[in-house]
């Protein structure tokens, strides 16, 4: 059979764009299908970690950097603590502009982009046929699905996540107020524990607007909108309702099927998200690249591309995501112990900041924290 393209990639977010760029640089005929014309709104705080940027083979332009982050301010149970590192741990970027930039990098490498909605995917013995809303049918030898956690096409590879395996967040973009109540956040992100079950609220300062939101595990987060209202009232922000959007987020660290037949999942579609603090960009970028490597390998009939993809993702980040899940369960099942520790000990918070910097694994941080947490929390509680 003659195919229109070697590989089609569904979804123009970081996972899809980096997959398309990787494939095009290999000389493969690559089609990137994105439903909405760029730039388009994306529900995300926009924290791009040094970990994530380390996977890119090009620099992020200064024009896309809204805020430099060297630390965090955290709140829990009337406690507030700030910790900074000498190193930059992340930047804040506006996802609509950042995602558009990544699509241009895929096109620069030779990928073709089409803005259309995928209505169907049918697998054949040696390829896929993708039906588009415009009425066009596209054929490809392989397909990478990077269309987010709520894509209905995920079910062709794996089952839908349960309420315990998935989070939900509500995010809004609010213009900076005058006077600016968060002007003292220079170099920081603002995290609020306690208002969202198995999650937190946040304020990310982007210079001319705030990204604010709440997120938690779906099974324990019965009324996210109510939590959002309470959080915005707590921090004194109004005018968020019109821009508020909700979106599911998978909890990483759970064993999922990530490829089958001629299909490969990447990013949120594959479930690669930090289950504690919600970092998805690093895993989206890297899993997109690895999915592209596996999809390209699968064009060789003798290759076991599915095993290659699973083993490569496991080698890159499976252990860290599993320990992040353990850490998340410990933090939220015993908040008086662990969240008190994180908001009472600057050394505990500063040490954690090396995790998104990718200088410390969750396993290493847990082994550092566990013997210290009871003493830190007990001292903090007794001092009250």
Give the pLDDT confidence score for residue 165 in this predicted structure. 96
- The parent domain of residue 265 ranges over 5-46+94-161+252-320
Q: Predicted confidence band at 382 (pLDDT cuts at 50, 70, 90)?
A: confident
Q: Which of 250, 279, 299 is the last residue of a domain?
A: 250
What's the pLDDT score for residue 1? Answer: 72
Q: Give 14-52 pLDDT, tens digit per residue.
A: 999 999 999 999 999 999 999 988 888 888 899 999 999
CA distance 51 to 146: 20
Q: pLDDT tens, 192-240?
A: 998 787 899 999 999 999 999 999 999 998 889 999 999 999 999 989 9
Residues 272 and 230 grouped into a single domain: no
| The predicted structure's pLDDT at residue 381 | 83
Residues 132 and 106 in one domain: yes
Strands 47-49 and 263-265, bridge-based pairing: unpaired
Q: Within this chain, do residues 225 and 312 fall inside the same structural domain, yes or no?
A: no
Q: What is the pLDDT of residue 197?
A: 75
Q: What is the dihedral of CA 104, 110, 113, 118, to 10 degrees?
A: -130
Asked if the model's pLDDT at residue 348 lies above 70, the reply is: yes
Domain total of the chain: 3
pLDDT digit string, tens, across residues 153-189: 999 999 999 999 999 999 999 999 999 999 999 999 9
User: Are residues 140 and 34 part of one domain?
Assistant: yes
Q: Are residues 124 and 9 part of one domain?
A: yes
User: In this structure, what CATH number is given to the domain that contains residue 213?
Assistant: 3.30.9.10
Q: How far apart are CA 190 and CA 339, in angstroms?
A: 15
Tens of pLDDT, residue by residue over 45-63, are: 999 999 999 999 999 999 9
- If pLDDT is split at 50, 70 and 90, which confidence band does 384 have? low
Global pTM reads 0.95
Do 146 and 38 fall within a single domain? yes
> Does residue 56 lie in a domain region?
no
Report the mean per-residue pLDDT for the chain: 95
The answer as to whether 42 is a domain residue is yes
Radius of gyration of the chain (CA): 21
Q: Quote the pLDDT of residue 189.
A: 95
Asked if the model's pLDDT at residue 105 lies above 70, the reply is yes
Q: Considering the domain boundaries, does residue 370 fall inside one?
A: yes
Query: Per mean pLDDT, which range of 35-39, 241-245, 323-327 is the poorest?
Result: 35-39
244, containing H or E segment: none
Q: What pLDDT is stored for residue 132 in this prediction?
A: 98
Structural contact between residues 197 and 221, judged by C-beta atoms closer than 8 angstroms:
yes
Residue 80 belongs to some domain of the structure: no
Which of 299, 320, 341 marks a domain boundary?
A: 320
Residues 10 and 136 in one domain: yes
């Amino acid at each position: 059979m003659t195919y229109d393209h070697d590989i089609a990639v569904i979804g123009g977010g970081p996972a899809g764009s980096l997959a398309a760029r990787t494939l095009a640089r290999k000389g493969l005929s690559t089609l990137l299908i994105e439903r909405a014309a760029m730039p388009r709104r994306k529900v995300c705080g926009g924290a791009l970690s040094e970990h994530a940027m380390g996977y890119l083979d090009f620099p992020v332009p200064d024009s896309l950097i809204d805020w430099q982050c060297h630390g965090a301010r955290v709140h829990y149970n009337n406690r507030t603590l700030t910790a900074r590192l000498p190193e930059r741990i992340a930047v804040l970027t506006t996802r609509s502009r950042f995602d558009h930039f990544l699509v241009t990098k895929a096109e620069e490498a030779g990928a073709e982009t089409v803005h259309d909605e995928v209505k169907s995917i049918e697998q054949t013995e040696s390829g896929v046929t993708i039906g588009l809303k415009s009425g066009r049918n596209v054929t490809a030898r392989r397909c990478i699905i990077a269309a987010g956690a709520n894509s209905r096409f995920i079910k062709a590879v794996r089952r839908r996540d349960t309420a315990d395996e998935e989070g939900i967040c509500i995010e809004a973009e609010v213009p900076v107020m005058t006077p600016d109540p968060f002007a003292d956040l220079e170099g920081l992100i603002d995290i609020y524990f306690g208002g969202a079950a198995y999650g937190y609220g946040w304020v990310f300062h982007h210079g001319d607007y705030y990204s604010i939101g709440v997120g938690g595990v779906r099974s324990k987060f019965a009324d996210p909108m109510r939590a959002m209202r309470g959080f915005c009232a707590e921090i004194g922000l109004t005018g968020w309702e019109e821009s508020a959007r909700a979106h599911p987020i998978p909890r990483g660290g759970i064993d999922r099927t990530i490829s089958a037949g001629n299909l490969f999942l990447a990013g949120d579609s594959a479930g690669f998200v930090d289950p504690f603090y919600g970092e998805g960009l690093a895993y989206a970028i890297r899993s997109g690249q690895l999915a592209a490597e596996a999809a390209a390998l699968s064009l060789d009939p003798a290759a076991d591309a599915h095993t290659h993809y699973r083993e490569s993702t496991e080698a890159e980040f499976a252990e860290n995501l599993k320990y992040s899940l353990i850490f998340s369960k410990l933090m939220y099942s015993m908040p008086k112990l662990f969240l008190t520790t994180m908001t009472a000990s600057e050394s505990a918070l500063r040490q954690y900041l090396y995790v998104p910097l990718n200088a410390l694994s969750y396993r290493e941080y847990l082994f550092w924290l566990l013997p210290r947490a009871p003493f830190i929390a007990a001292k903090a509680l007794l001092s009250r």
